[in-house]
Each structure stands twice: as C-alpha cells, then as structure tokens.
Chains A and B, each alone.
Chain A
C-alpha cells in the first residue's frame, strides 16, 4: 500500500536540479522545474546505475552524470537508448508549500 510522505518545503528544493531521497533501500530523485511542477522518479539510471539526482536537467529531461543517458523525468523513460527499462515514476503532491511523494 502506498502512503503519502512529506519530503521537504517546496521553497527548499533546488531549482532545475535534483534532490536525492532515500527510503530504506529505495533511492528517489526529485526534480523541481518550478514551484508548481515537481517530479519524482527512481534515482538509479538503468544504463549503469548512475545517480540521476546529480544529472543536468534540460527541459523535461535529465541527463545522467555518468554516461549522459537522457531520461524523460515525467515518464521515467530512457530517451537515447532503447532496450533499457524505464525508471519508476512516483506520484507527487504539493500542498500548502510542502512537497510529498507517494511511496
């Protein structure tokens, strides 16, 4: 069962950069594109395990810092390689200036 978990104040999330969130063994990357548009996807790049939260954001893509694989940060889909798994996408919520993820 998923539950809604508080992550951080929206204002504190870095803009157009990633934030790494740990949940037990799970690792999640959060990207704030603007105060009303925040996405959360799996942090582990399906290509070679790079930390996506440390990647560069370009539009709605994130580029893995290890080998520059581009992923769609809305759908979790790898763009520049096929044959790779999507990373998981997490539902998110913004309420009263606070940011939540469903985990």
Chain B
C-alpha cells in the first residue's frame, strides 16, 4: 500500500508541493489535501488583478475540481483541520473527519494582522487575503462606498487602486511619512503618490488610527485619527502585514516561534511533519511571497519522493507594484548608511527616477520609478554582486543600448527569469529548443515561467525572439481555453487545411471543448469568412446577440435600430420615416448618437423585422464588427471658412466602398477639413486631416477604455490614394487582427513603423488591396447585393428562427396535436 500524504492548506505552496510530488511519481502517495476556503486552488497573487478589473474571478483558479479527480487527489475543502494527533498520526477537521497520515505537510499560509483599535470587530472591517474577501470588497466598492485602507504598503496600495477602479472613493492611511516605506525612498514614494492621486486615491500620511466608528447596526460609519479628525467611511480594509498561521502546529506541540520552525529541508521538530510557505520560519526568517514558497514546495516534494535536493536558502527578489500604468521596481538593500552609498538620477521631464545603492563597490540595491527598463540589469548586478568600481556613474545609470532593458543575449544562463516559479534563462531556452515552442503561453505550459504574476512575460518574449528570430510568436495570444494554439497558428491551420466549417476546425485542431466557447466560436466564424469569402457559410448560432439579430441588445433585453446616415447627413424624407416608425411602435427613446446618426431604442426583438420593413432605410450596421462603424466628419470646405477639403464626398465614397465588410472589431473613421480637427480624427482607427493641397492620413488611433493617438501614415494629394491606403489597411487588419481586437492593438503588436512601411510599399499594398476586393465582392454576393436588413427580411427561414417569441399564455396540451 502506498504511503498516505496529507497536506493542510490548499493554497499556493500546498498545491504546488502536491503538483511536484505528482510530477515526480504519481503513484507514490495516496494524497489528501485539507483546505479551509470554498474554492479549489487559485493564484492568490492575482486577486489584485481581479480587483483592478484586469481579470475575472474564474480566471485565477489554477486547479479546478476536475484536476483533483484526474490526479486522484482527495480534496476535503471548506473544512479546516483543527487538530493534529502526532502519536496516532491523525488529522481532525472541523466537521469531525479524521484523516490518517504517514507524511504531513503544513501549508497553512498566514493571516492578516488586524490593528486592535476600538471598533476593529465591526462589520465591514476586512482584510484582503481570499477570493471571498475580494468579492465582499468588490460588492461594497461597486455601490460607491467610501473606504479607508489602513496601510500604505504594497498590498494596501494594490487593494486601494482596485477599489477605486471598482467605483469606491478610497483613502489610504499610513503611519510612516511616505508610502511603501520599506521598499521606496521618499522621492520615489512621492512620485508614486502623485500618480496614485491622479487616479483618485486620497492619502493620510504619518497618520495614526485611533478608532473605527460604528452605527447602531454594528456597521462601520467612520474612522477617527489620533488628532481627533474623523472621516466618513463605510468600510475599512486592514493591510498592515501578515502573521504566520501556526495555531494547529502550536497546539500539536511542534516548535513554533514566529512561524513553524523548519530545517533546511522544511522538516519541523517532528520528522514526519513538514512546513512550507508563509506559515514556516527558517533560520529566524518568515517569508511573504510566492517565489520562496515555490522553492520550498519543490524541496519538500523532492524530500518526500527521495530525490536529491538543495537546502533552502533565502531567495532574492524584486518588488513590483501590480497597478496598471505604474512602473516601479525595488530590490535588495535600499537604505543608506556609513557603508552603503547611492547614485541618483532624476528625469523630471519623464517623471523617471533611479537610485542605485552600492556597498564597497558592489551594487546592493535599486529603486526605479517611472522607467523600469533597467530593472533586470541592476537586479542581475545585485545577484551576481557585480563590482562596479570601474564604471562611471553615468555608465551605470544609462545603459546606452537602445533595447528594452531585457538584454537577454548577455544574460547568464543560470539567471532566473521567472522569479515566482524560479525558472532560469537556460531552462526556458532548453524548453524552446526541445519542445519546439514558439509562444509565451507555450513556454508557460512547459516550464511554468510567466504563469504566476506574469511580470516576466516580456523577458520570455525576448528570449523567444532571440532563439527563433522571426519565427517567434512572441506574445501571441492563445485564442481561448478550448485550445493551446495561438490565433496565428489557428488561422494558418485553417488556411492550409481549407476547412470550411467551425466544427471541422475544432475537430481538426483537437479542441479540448468540442463545442467551442463564446470566445472561439465567433472568432472562428469570422476567420472562415475572412479566409474563404463566398465559400464559408455564415454560422448564425456562433454570433453574439447583436450580430445574430442585426440590432444592438440593450440592458433590458430590448434592441436598438440605427439606420444608415452617411457622415451624419440626412433628408426630410428620412426624418419623416423615422418619426412615423417611432410613433407607430411607441419607441421610448430616440437619440442622435455619437456616430452622427439617429438611434431608436427599446424595440422588442419580435418587432425588429416590422420596424425595418416600415423604415425602408439601409442598416447603419451599428451592431456589427465591420468596417465603417462611423465616419465622423466636420462640415468641411463647403461651409466652413477654414476648410481645405470636401469632407462629404470623401465620406460617401469610403462608406459606399467599404461599409459592411466584416472585421475583427468595429472600425471608426474621422475626416476633418483642417488641422483644427473638429471631428477628433486623431483617436480614430483611420483619420484624414485636410491640409492645404492634400490630406494627412492617420492610423491606429483609439478612444475607449484606452486612449491612443493615431500615427501619421502618409500625406497624399488625391481621394483615390486615400481609398487605396484605406482598402489595404483594412484588409491588413482583417488578416492580422485577433477577433475582438481594435486596430490600435494590432498596429501596436506589429509595430507602427512596420505597418507604415508595409502600407507604403506599393507591391504589398496592392496585394492587400486585391484580396480585399475579392472579400468585398463575396460579401455583397452573399447578400445578393442587398443591404443587411433587406437581405434578412427576404430570408424567411432565418427570420422565423430568430425573431419568433412563442406566447403560450392560456394554451393547453391539445393545441398542435
């Protein structure tokens, strides 16, 4: 019979230890994990990302229930261990289950320290440690609560930034005179504070909390400082550090000081019991990050499996703040004293700050703010104790090489790239070579590099480029969870195999979920349309509601109808038609929308065909991911005294030529007749500015959750040249965009200079243009030359399938029999 291995704690260290044991020998142990939370294992460090809306809760689960089944791991979850009987070798859980063990691993993590001020037990005083905490905080924040975060350290700031993103107003209270006092100096902290203030955070520094005030129902209503000042808040988040969770270990008589005491091989004072992660204490030190937890998880697995292993030693790490848009790195020793001196550079133009700490001629610490591109270079120096006495201060501060700081070619092979998972450059390169990897995701699957906090992904990408050159897929995204392939690999396979249905694609590429998901189904439908125009048959059920019904779904389940009004120009006839339809169907809301046309809102699905019929106008295709979502134009030369060009004719030409061509996402255009730019064309996918004697053309602008200024493509003299450029650019986007990705992202990914050079090259431009023409023709043929609504009205079957609502009120079984 195999030995029984029991792990207490289903957190990051515990699950990793089990994974390592399974990898070494899946049959060696009968494994049980006892967990306290009501989720399977998840990546705790990504809690901040979820709060900051970079990810969603389900995305951070690392081992779903099926994983435990498949690996024969018994999970006793949401039922904490309450006692260990070391003589009988039994663990008892809160519900009374008794689990015998031969080997026991304690991975109970830590708990947040709560400031014991009056009021600390009120409802809505929370800490941020688990998914449950996060969801609770999210709910209150979304209600627009005022929240105080006590503690201006790394975690407190990540929580505070996330809460602001969720809609709360947040005050951060910190006793020290500046933020992240253990990792930053005052200058860097002040820069950070300014950037965070710009995002809406409020700070109380050097401030001591005296008490938390509650209302009659026991809920938080305010917070009082030592100086008597009171602020109104409805929630208090404590973020003052962590304490190792040692209760059951202590009760079982194991040696515990701050944490559970372990030797170099993670053994506690009982040789059958090990402790890893934040609950342990090694050589007088506890830990609070993932990288050393994972190192320990590997050591314990090796010991359990009888493999040779290295003793545990302190892991050096860089500290980064996971708040989007804020770049900072801190590492090593960062306080000046008699022996430690520093070199400082401040770039006030770009708000970038660097401070390098040196002891006896050896780099021992770094603080970077604003520009962290040299972070890895310095960290390498710290780890390798590089002697820099020969460097000029400026040579140290300025690399001189115009690379991205990840000078991967000169990086030694044993240098750690992924700190969380302890993966070296050498391991990654070996994996790329041996397993023919071409993408960051692939490297992640093979080596785990980049799969925890993700901050090393750019370095992995650089390594792929270094090894494979142009063949590297780099940051190419995997399409969805149904596959491990990137968009590029999938498009290539569809093209090569000439597959004509989504089902063929999924079967041919061994989709993990044979039915596909809401991400890949519309994407593959699009790529089939794009690659085989005219041959592929549109798959309506793979379309989201808007594209399926040719109308935009609204928050109450009704739809909007938006007819075409090229460049916002309309006629009395059109206005009368719209008015009549609006009256007849009691349209609750009529609005001139941003895209310069009129929208009718609140129409029931079953009324859509009737509305289109009576309107008898072309569709504005406001619902679809297609070219020409809008062409915003100023009145132009015909009316405006500054105008250089005629905007209307150009808009009409573009709209007539390209409207309705399906694209990875919507495409918005802007035409403005002089550089005063009344139609705001510099944040459009394609923008035209009329100048004296010609046109400036811009590409890749965006105005949405991300604002991106467009880049100048070229200056041309004729409308024909504009048509050519736009046609080629559109087709390039159709072929290279990931479904759901706006032009700016695709342009950024390809490099704006490359895109411009490609479009300026006549032969490449013409090739795109030609393929685009074929697609345009096929698209029109598919609808028999009709505009979308008219085409749909003539397609009886689809009409019936999609817009029918069956009313059975009062109906009985007899009908239909």
Q: Are A and B associated in one complex?
A: yes
Residues of A within 8 A of B (CB): 3-9, 12, 14-17, 19-24, 48-51, 54-59, 63, 65-66, 68, 70, 80-81, 83, 98, 100-101, 103
Interface 1/0s, chain B 500-515, versus A by CB < 8 A? 0000000000000111
A8-B806 CB under 8 A given contacts A49-B557, A58-B516, A66-B555: yes
B545 touches A5 (CB 8 A): no
Q: Which of A23, A63, A101 contacts B518 (CB 8 A)?
A: A63
A15 nearest in chain B by CB position: B541
Segment among B5-13, B107-115, B731-739, B808-816 that sits at the interface with chain A: B808-816
Max chain A C-beta neighbours (<10 A), residue from B522, B542, B809, B812: B809
Count how many pairs of residues, one from A and one from B, have CB atoms less than 8 Å apart in the complex.
Answer: 100
A12 touches B800 (CB 8 A): yes
Interface assignment of B817: CB less than 8 Å from any CB of chain A:
yes
Cα–Cα, bound, A55→B541 (Å): 9
Q: Which of A15, A57, A80, A100 contacts B58 (CB 8 A)?
A: A80
B553 touches A66 (CB 8 A): yes
CB distance from A89 to the nearest CB of B (A): 17
Cα–Cα, bound, A93→B199 (Å): 56
B811 touches A5 (CB 8 A): yes
A6 touches B541 (CB 8 A): no
A14 touches B802 (CB 8 A): yes
Q: Which 4 A-B pairs have the closest CB atoms?
A: A6-B816, A65-B545, A59-B515, A51-B557
Cα–Cα, bound, A68→B533 (Å): 29
A58 touches B545 (CB 8 A): no
B808 touches A5 (CB 8 A): yes
B805 touches A21 (CB 8 A): yes
A33 nearest in chain B by CB position: B515
A14 touches B801 (CB 8 A): yes
Cα–Cα, bound, A83→B807 (Å): 31
Cα–Cα, bound, A19→B808 (Å): 13
CB distance from B550 to the nearest CB of A (A): 13
Q: List residues of chain A with CB within 8 A of the CB of B553.
A: 51, 54, 65-66
Interface assignment of B540: CB less than 8 Å from any CB of chain A:
yes
Q: Which of B58, B545, B811 contacts A54 (CB 8 A)?
A: B545
A62 nearest in chain B by CB position: B518
Residues of B within 8 A of A (CB): 56-58, 135, 513-518, 521-522, 540-545, 548-549, 553, 555-557, 605, 800-802, 804-809, 811-817
A68-B518 CB under 8 A given contacts A5-B808, A23-B809: yes
Cα–Cα, bound, A17→B548 (Å): 10
B59 nearest in chain A by CB position: A80
CB distance from A49 to the nearest CB of B (A): 7
B817 nearest in chain A by CB position: A6
For the A-B complex with A50-B557, A56-B542 known, give 6 more contacts whose Cβ atoms are closer than 8 Å.
A4-B813, A5-B811, A6-B813, A54-B553, A70-B518, A80-B58
Q: List residues of chain B with CB within 8 A of the CB of A16.
A: 541
CB distance from B802 to the nearest CB of A (A): 7
9 example contacts (A-B, Cβ-Cβ < 8 A) are as follows: A7-B806, A14-B801, A20-B605, A59-B513, A59-B515, A65-B545, A65-B553, A68-B518, A80-B58
Cα–Cα, bound, A43→B117 (Å): 49
A65-B813 CB under 8 A given contacts A21-B805, A22-B806, A58-B517: no
B513 touches A54 (CB 8 A): no
A65 touches B513 (CB 8 A): no
Q: List residues of chain A with CB within 8 A of the CB of B58.
A: 80
Q: List residues of chain B with CB within 8 A of the CB of A56.
A: 518, 521-522, 541-545
B808 touches A22 (CB 8 A): yes
A103 touches B817 (CB 8 A): no
B135 nearest in chain A by CB position: A83
CB distance from B307 to the nearest CB of A (A): 39
Cα–Cα, bound, A21→B801 (Å): 13
CB distance from A39 to the nearest CB of B (A): 14
Q: List residues of chain A with CB within 8 A of the CB of B548.
A: 17, 54
A70 nearest in chain B by CB position: B518
Q: List residues of chain A with CB within 8 A of the CB of B549.
A: 54
A17 touches B541 (CB 8 A): yes
A5 touches B812 (CB 8 A): yes
A20-B806 CB under 8 A given contacts A15-B541, A80-B58: yes
Q: List residues of chain A with CB within 8 A of the CB of B811.
A: 5-6
Cα–Cα, bound, A30→B83 (Å): 51
A19-B804 CB under 8 A given contacts A58-B513, A59-B513: yes
A48-B545 CB under 8 A given contacts A6-B816, A22-B809, A58-B515: no
Q: List residues of chain A with CB within 8 A of the CB of B605.
A: 20, 54
A7 touches B808 (CB 8 A): yes
CB distance from A73 to the nearest CB of B (A): 12
CB distance from A27 to the nearest CB of B (A): 9
Q: List residues of chain A with CB within 8 A of the CB of B557.
A: 49-51, 54, 66
Cα–Cα, bound, A65→B553 (Å): 8
A23 touches B808 (CB 8 A): yes
Q: List residues of chain B with CB within 8 A of the CB of A101.
A: 808
CB distance from B256 to the nearest CB of A (A): 35
Q: List residues of chain B with CB within 8 A of the CB of A51.
A: 553, 557
CB distance from B530 to the nearest CB of A (A): 20
Q: List residues of chain B with CB within 8 A of the CB of A54.
A: 545, 548-549, 553, 557, 605
Q: List residues of chain A with CB within 8 A of the CB of B542.
A: 56
Cα–Cα, bound, A9→B800 (Å): 13
Cα–Cα, bound, A69→B20 (Å): 34
CB distance from A21 to the nearest CB of B (A): 5
CB distance from B800 to the nearest CB of A (A): 7
A20 touches B805 (CB 8 A): yes
Cα–Cα, bound, A19→B807 (Å): 11
CB distance from B739 to the nearest CB of A (A): 14
B813 touches A5 (CB 8 A): yes
Cα–Cα, bound, A5→B810 (Å): 9
Q: List residues of chain A with CB within 8 A of the CB of B545.
A: 54-56, 65
Q: Which of B541, B809, B815 contacts A57 (CB 8 A)?
A: B541
Q: Which of B513, B517, B806, B808 contacts A103 (CB 8 A)?
A: B808
Cα–Cα, bound, A58→B511 (Å): 13
CB distance from A42 to the nearest CB of B (A): 13
B817 touches A98 (CB 8 A): yes
Cα–Cα, bound, A103→B813 (Å): 10
Cα–Cα, bound, A54→B541 (Å): 10
Cα–Cα, bound, A6→B813 (Å): 5
Q: List residues of chain B with CB within 8 A of the CB of A81.
A: 57
Cα–Cα, bound, A58→B545 (Å): 14
Q: List residues of chain A with CB within 8 A of the CB of B57.
A: 80-81
Cα–Cα, bound, A54→B803 (Å): 10
A65 touches B544 (CB 8 A): yes
B513 nearest in chain A by CB position: A59
Q: Which of B518, B813, B815, B817 contacts A58 (CB 8 A)?
A: B518
Q: List residues of chain A with CB within 8 A of the CB of B800.
A: 12
CB distance from A29 to the nearest CB of B (A): 11
Q: List residues of chain B with CB within 8 A of the CB of A9.
A: 816
B816 touches A98 (CB 8 A): yes
B806 nearest in chain A by CB position: A21
Cα–Cα, bound, A22→B556 (Å): 16
Q: List residues of chain A with CB within 8 A of the CB of B806.
A: 7-8, 19-22
Cα–Cα, bound, A81→B58 (Å): 8
Max chain A C-beta neighbours (<10 A), residue from B516, B557, B805, B816: B557
B809 touches A24 (CB 8 A): yes
Cα–Cα, bound, A56→B553 (Å): 13
A25 nearest in chain B by CB position: B809
Cα–Cα, bound, A34→B807 (Å): 23
B815 nearest in chain A by CB position: A6
Q: List residues of chain A with CB within 8 A of the CB of B817.
A: 6, 98
Q: List residues of chain B with CB within 8 A of the CB of A17.
A: 540-541, 548, 801-802
Cα–Cα, bound, A62→B755 (Å): 39
